Amino acid sequence: MDSQPETPQRRRDLYRDPTDDAPVTAPGGPAATTEPVAEPAAPAPATSSRRRRLLVLLLSLTALIAVVDQITKCLAEARLEQGVIVPVLGDLLGLQLVYNPGAAFSFATGMTWVFTIIMVVVAVVVLRVSRRLGSLGWALALGMLLGGCLGNLYDRLFRDPGFARGHVVDFINYNGWFVGNIADIAIVGAAILIAVLALRGREIDGSLASDAAERADDERGTDA
């Protein structure tokens, strides 16, 4: 027989419902805990695997354009006579072998070394910005630009009359206006595509310029 005196605390312990100490559970769910719930991670803006795929596309297109440009130049030198026009589409388009020391329209013929430096700078810039690549359109544009620059840069560096002063091989005559090559076509196509992307506000990383402006406005509003 329990000889301890009955006190208010002892009475509460004797008649307490043992289920009072059980954790509270939601219907059909696990026991609730007091541990903090982790916030879901924010989605990454661009995956590294997508960036790698776009970079591979850029470099593949660059290599393709540069190789095709050099092959067609070698064929032009082997099959065409310098200065003689071979009609392809009447007077609109023809083949004519020309060695160009300057730019289009025979501009700045005595400044070959300047164009060599410009092409080197463009190639370096393209390779640097390609690390932020996140847009298919920009991958195509930069691939065409880099391929065209490397195609003509090879001529500037390694063709006669000397290193960094070489003359570019041109062979596509556009109705007598100017004579160009495959590298020139790639560079012009890249310029057009870059202009379209810029007008649409598409950034190199794939984002839109309008979205970046909205985020900047939101940050300024938060700071205020």
Task: Name the active-site residue from 184, 205, 211, 217.
Answer: 184
Return d(Cα 223, Cα 185) in angstroms, integer: 48
Annotation marks residue 184 as catalytic: yes
How deeply is 191 buried, as exposed, middle or buried, from its count of CB atoms within 10 A (0-12, 13-18, 19+)?
middle
Q: What is the DSSP string of 142-167?
A: HHHHHHHHHHHHHHHHHSTT-TT-PP
Task: Name the active-site residue from 170, 211, 217, 218.
Answer: 170
Return d(Cα 156, Cα 99) in angstroms, integer: 11
Annotation marks residue 170 as catalytic: yes
Cβ 173 vs Cβ 76: under 8 Å = no
Return d(Cα 182, Cα 70) in angstroms, integer: 9
| 180 SS3 class | strand
Where is 99: in which H helix or E strand?
strand 93-100
Buried b (16+ CB within 10 A) or exposed e, 173-185: beeeebbbbbbbe
Q: Which residues are catalytically annotated?
A: 170, 184
